[in-house]
Amino acid sequence: MRPQRILAALIVIVAFVAGCSGRSDNGGGSEESAAGGGSGSSAVSSSFGDLSDVCQDGSAKGATALGVTDDQISIGVMSDVGFTKNSEFGDAAKVFTAWCNDNGGINGRKLVATVHDTRFMAVRPAVTAACKEDFALVGGGAALDGLGTKERLGCLLPNFAAQTSQVAELGSDLLVQAAPAQKLGYMPYYQFRYWLVNDAYPDSADKVGIINGDSPVTKVLGEMQVESVEAAGGKFVYNDLYPASGVSDWTPYAQSIKNKGVKGLIFYGEYKQLAKLESVLSGMNYKLDWIDPTNNAYGQPFLDLLGPSAEKQNNLVDLSGVLPNESTEPAMEDLKKLYATYAPDVALTTPAVRAFSSWLLFAKSAASCGSDLTRKCLYDTAVKETAWTAGGLQAAQDLTPGAAPSPCFNVEQATANGWQAADFKPDNGPYRCNIPVKKTTADYGSGVTLADVGKSSSDLK
């Protein structure tokens, strides 16, 4: 593969698995520091949603672990910001640490977060740098995160990830996924797929199509989606790939979709390309029952690109149990206020909401350890949460290692007037939770364990 084609393939992989959706960057270089205390406003409450005293003054003392001193806790944040120019994980770290430090930190210890720029391919050196200075990783993610999993476990570094991408990290030890997340061994988006082909659009059940990027990494992700749809009762009549470098004319794809009578389409790729395809479909006066652009498309940029197709086509995304940005639930209102205070020029995104869930869990767990703040105490405390809602930002998650994922999901619909909740029949507040999870039957690999790097849980101190 020639260099320019390699670059194009990498861009598509990032778009699939790391939420790269063209949002603007507010910085980004080799490494950024996100030390808190930005506004100095002690008037900002230390409570969040239904969580009280998330951060607090105190007299915790002692260098109890790497990255912990009498007055400071050093945290690492993984981000592909140098490649994607998307700073949402660094922004979330800035907002949380500023707010937390204005309320006294963690038992009096201030938080200092450093963004380790993985630059897409430089995951291993970024993790190695974190191993030398950080107490834990919190609220970040990288498209090729599995490249650094062995290094992370080798230095016994817990990861409170905002998102995970590769199987090596997804099924790894010392990983805590606070926000709703795919779990290895379970079908991703199964509940959403079941709702689409059985409840909402049953006529589409035997007329499903998928278009996926032509890359070895993303093909596996596409295979997972096919298994999930078929298990839900769907039948594929169209399964195609598109070049990683993009398509200049989507007419042949649109014609194939029309000729095969596709009624439901999953597009696993860059949403800029999907917007072009939908424009062609709309020009042909061919409307599908539904299109799933994946939740990477959830945001205003995709709506802007859709233009008239926002009304002519039916784009639906599954937020998997995370509150949408337009929600007026108390926790989302609190988060919007924090962004308005500490990062007024930054747009709040769903990956940032997921990151905030990780930060809240970290703070609660660390605070409960008091002066004896060790990685073992932090991790053991976090994974005892069996109904973590991040103060109300998400559906309850059981964080016990090996626990099944939550069945809860929620669906947003793209319209000319913005994103709106679809009629998915919620039965648990803003979520629907009555479709059971389903295990995968195919083997997609396994995560890296402590044993794989010559360690065990007894080494965690």
Q: What is the pLDDT of residues 416-448, one digit of tens each?
A: 999 999 999 999 999 999 999 999 999 989 999
Q: Specify the pLDDT at position 244.
A: 78
Average pLDDT of the residues in 222-240: 96
Counting Cβ atoms within 10 Å, is residue 89 exposed (0-12), middle (13-18) or buried (19+)?
A: buried
CA atoms within 13 A of residue 403's CA, in its CB half-sphere: 21
Same CATH fold, 190-319 and 15-184+328-401+446-459?
Answer: yes
Q: Specify the pLDDT at position 132.
A: 98
Reported confidence tier of residue 217, pLDDT bands at 50, 70, 90: low
- 262 near 207, Cβ under 8 Å? yes
- Measured CA to CA, the distance from residue 156 to residue 314 in angstroms comes to 46
Reported confidence tier of residue 24, pLDDT bands at 50, 70, 90: very low
Average pLDDT of the residues in 320-336: 97
pLDDT tens per residue across span 296-314: 899 999 999 999 999 999 9
Cα angle at 433 between 432 and 439, to 5 degrees? 130
- Measured CA to CA, the distance from residue 9 to residue 1 in angstroms comes to 10
3 pLDDT higher than 90:
no
Q: Are strands 72-79 and 110-117 parallel, antiparallel or unpaired?
A: parallel
The structure tokens listed for 410 are 């929620």
Q: Specify the pLDDT at position 20.
A: 38
Q: Which amino acid is at 51?
A: L
Q: Specify the pLDDT at position 44.
A: 86
Phi, psi torsion values for 291, nearest 5 degrees: -130, 130
Domain boundaries along the sequence of the chain: 15-184+328-401+446-459, 190-319
Q: Are strands 175-176 and 159-160 parallel, antiparallel or unpaired?
A: parallel
Helix axes 271-283, 251-259, angle to 10 degrees: 60
- 184 near 405, Cβ under 8 Å? no
- Measured CA to CA, the distance from residue 77 to residue 89 in angstroms comes to 7
Gyration radius of the chain over CA positions: 22
Average pLDDT of the residues in 243-262: 95
Please report the DSSP string for 69-109 in residue order.
-SSEEEEEEEE-HHHH---HHHHHHHHHHHHHHHTTTBTTB
Instruction: Supply the pTM of this predicted model.
Output: 0.93
Domain 190-319: assigned CATH number: 3.40.50.2300
- Measured CA to CA, the distance from residue 387 to residue 341 in angstroms comes to 29
Q: Bigger pLDDT: 244 or 310?
A: 310
The structure tokens listed for 336 are 């919007």
The per-type count for the chain, helices as H runs and strands as E runs, is 15, 13
Q: Specify the pLDDT at position 192.
A: 98
43 pLDDT higher than 90:
no
219 pLDDT higher than 80:
no
33 pLDDT higher than 70:
no
For residue 288, give every residue at least 6 positions away whose Cβ sits within 8 Å of its Cβ, in sequence order, or none: 204, 257, 262, 263, 264, 265, 281, 313, 314
- 167 near 446, Cβ under 8 Å? yes
364 pLDDT higher than 60:
yes
Looking at the chain, the whole-number percentage of residues with pLDDT higher than 90 is: 85
Reported confidence tier of residue 326, pLDDT bands at 50, 70, 90: very high
- Range in 215-219, 315-319, 340-344 with the lowest mean pLDDT: 215-219
Identify the H or E element spanning 419.
strand 418-421
Identify the H or E element spanning 255.
helix 251-259
Average pLDDT of the residues in 199-220: 90
CATH 3.40.50.880 fits 15-184+328-401+446-459, yes or no: no
pLDDT tens per residue across span 388-420: 999 999 999 999 999 999 999 999 999 999 999
Average pLDDT of the residues in 330-358: 97
Distances 208 to 237, 253, 270 between C-alpha atoms, Å: 6, 14, 20
Count of residues in the chain: 461
- Torsion over CA: 69, 73, 79, 81 (sign): negative
Cα 152 from chain centroid (whole Å): 19
16 pLDDT higher than 90:
no
